[in-house]
Amino acid sequence: MSDKRKATHQLLLLRHAKSSRNIPSTPDHERPLSKRGRKAAQVMGRVMRSEDLVPDLVLASTARRAMETLEALEPWAEQPILDAKKALYLASAPSMLDLLRNLKETAQSVLLIGHNPGLHALAVLLVGAHSKAAERKLAKRLAKSYPSGTLAEFALACPWSQIEEGSGRLVRFVTPRELKALA
């Protein structure tokens, strides 16, 4: 992707915040956020608002921890459209890519809240092997891991229907650990 091409879309990939494992009888889909996860998601919401990372569309897994992550990000300056999708629960990278390819071009900024390992694989796929020097440090960090509550921002210079490997320019990669000082 040429640096001279202007980004037409913004894609924000957010892994749900840290979930609770204290209730062994709770089905995986119904696990809530932990206290630490809720706090991290609230801080991420403040950071997103301060950096003007306000989506006009949110695609979210229907898992309780993903929906609670979304709730903790609020309030938004303008309420985004929410499209909760059961298909995003533990979705693979190819499944998420297909979902993104079917978005309407009117969606300029999209926040996708999902799960690993699919979300991590999607982020790595979008960066591809072509990343520029300025992106390499971020891309190396992203390739290593994608912790709970982590946000990756991509600029896309193609229509949603043409997203493929290497079509995303990694703009930022923020983990909850980096935000601890802001808590």
CATH number for position 46: 3.40.50.1240
- All residue ranges of the chain with pLDDT < 70 are 1-7, 129-134, 181-183
Length of the chain in residues, anyone? 183
pTM of the model as a whole: 0.92
Q: What is the pLDDT of residue 136?
A: 79
Which tokens go with 131? 């990343």
Question: Does 1 reside within a domain?
Answer: no
Task: Compute the Cα dihedral for 148, 70, 160, 135 and give only its sign.
Answer: negative
Question: Does 71 reside within a domain?
Answer: yes
Question: Does 99 reside within a domain?
Answer: yes
Question: Does 2 reside within a domain?
Answer: no
Look at the chain and report how many structural domains it folds into. Answer: 1
Question: Does 147 reside within a domain?
Answer: yes
pLDDT digits (tens, 9 = 90+) for 77-123: 889 999 999 999 999 999 999 999 999 999 999 999 999 999 999 99
Q: What is the pLDDT of residue 1?
A: 38
Question: Does 3 reside within a domain?
Answer: no
Quote the CA–CA distance of 4 and 17 in Å, as a whole number: 35
Question: Does 44 reside within a domain?
Answer: yes
Range of the domain at 97: 9-182
Quote the CA–CA distance of 51 and 34 in Å, as a whole number: 25
What residues have CB less than 8 Å from 37, skipping those under 6 apart?
16, 17, 18, 19, 20, 65, 68, 69, 148, 149
Q: Which of 141, 139, 137 is nearest to 168 (CA)?
A: 139
Q: Which of 142, 121, 120 is nearest to 131 (CA)?
A: 142
Question: Does 56 reside within a domain?
Answer: yes
